[in-house]
Amino acid sequence: MIHTLTYESKAIKELTIADVEVILATAKQFNSQNDITGCLIFYKRRFIQILEGDKKKIYDLYEKVKNDKRHKQVYLLSEDAIEERNFPNWGMVYYPIDDNEANRNEYEQFKRNLLLLADLTVHSNQTAILFWKRMKLLITTPPDHI
């Protein structure tokens, strides 16, 4: 049986794109070594992540996440036991500029692609459903309302 867990958190004010790239590199290596899959979305200074794998490894990783000083307000949204992975590979989605940057068309396309991905993805359990619902809410809510 595979365990899945999804959480949400808020980046600290000082977090830079370089910091996000370090998080990505570390997570790729760790998750690969521990047979953990899922998806991490960083958008509007928020993280939403879903993890899949061995229950103990997932809980151990979540404990590390909760103690990571690069973000705060870590909130467990849902967890489930699942038959098969929704994310056979691990990935991260982020856009390296703020909403106020000049390249508005590229930014809007990024948002449309994420929403399309959410709509086209098969949701086989409550945790995956909640992960995509929270992501869609994050993408469609104005920054000052989050």
Q: Provide the CATH number for the domain around residue 32.
A: 3.30.70.100
Is residue 2 a contact partner of residue 85, using CB atoms and an 8 Å limit? yes
Domain limits at 114? 2-145
Model pLDDT for residues 7-38, shown as the tens digit of each residue: 999 999 999 888 988 988 888 889 889 999 88
Strand-pair partners of 116: none
Q: Which residue carries 């929403």 as its tokens? A: 115
- Cβ-in-10-Å burial (0-12, 13-18, 19+) of 6 comes to buried
Give pTM, 2 decimals: 0.79
Residue 79, H or E segment: strand 71-82
Distance (Å, whole) CA 90 – CA 41:
11
Helical spans, DSSP H, in the chain = 17-33, 55-67, 104-120, 126-140
Query: What would the two tokens of residue 129 be?
Result: 């459903």
Model pLDDT for residues 108-145, shown as the tens digit of each residue: 777 777 777 777 776 678 888 888 888 888 888 776 55
By three-state DSSP, how is residue 40 classified?
strand
- The total number of structural domains in the chain stands at 1
More confident position, 133 or 54: 54
